[in-house]
């Protein structure tokens, strides 16, 4: 990485693990981050932590710090249920990022419970 690397890093990124929402493959994403001189790359797939191990391995192998995350769904009820008109109830997205290993473990637990 060059000493003039930008201070910007993408932290809200969807990969192929975000079904119907992301198309980024983690390997090429890390390659591009290296080309741009980024020091960190986040991964916040929708409702899953499935890509975090691949992100960790490829990012650390390239000298980039991985930032593990997830884009969670929040609803007013425990279950998303159909409304009378057949539409799904509204959900709100919340982007969660782990600051350390404990945070990563907490996100893994939340992902498993959801």
Task: Supply the pLDDT for residue 73.
Answer: 85
pLDDT for res 84: 52
Q: Please indicate, yes or no, if residue 6 is contained in any of the structural domains.
A: no
| pLDDT, tens only, 11-33 | 999 999 998 888 899 999 999 99
- The whole-number pLDDT of residue 114 equals 64
Residue 19 belongs to some domain of the structure: no
Cβ-count burial 14-32 (b if 16+ within 10 Å, e if not): bbbbbeeebebebeebbee
SS3 70: strand
Domain encompassing residue 44: 26-113
CATH number at residue 71: 3.20.20.140
pLDDT tens profile 59-103: 999 999 999 999 998 877 655 555 555 666 667 889 999 999 999
């Amino acid at each position: 990485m060059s000493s003039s690397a930008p201070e910007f890093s993408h932290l809200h990124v969807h990969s192929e693990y975000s079904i119907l929402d992301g198309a980024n493959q983690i390997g090429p994403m890390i390659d591009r981050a290296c080309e741009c001189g980024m020091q960190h790359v986040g991964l916040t797939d929708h409702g899953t932590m499935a890509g975090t191990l691949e992100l960790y391995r490829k990012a650390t192998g390239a000298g980039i710090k991985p930032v593990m995350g997830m884009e969670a769904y929040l609803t007013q009820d425990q279950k998303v249920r159909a409304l009378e008109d057949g539409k799904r109830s509204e959900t709100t997205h919340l982007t969660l990022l782990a600051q350390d290993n404990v945070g990563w473990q907490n996100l893994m637990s939340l992902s498993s419970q959801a």
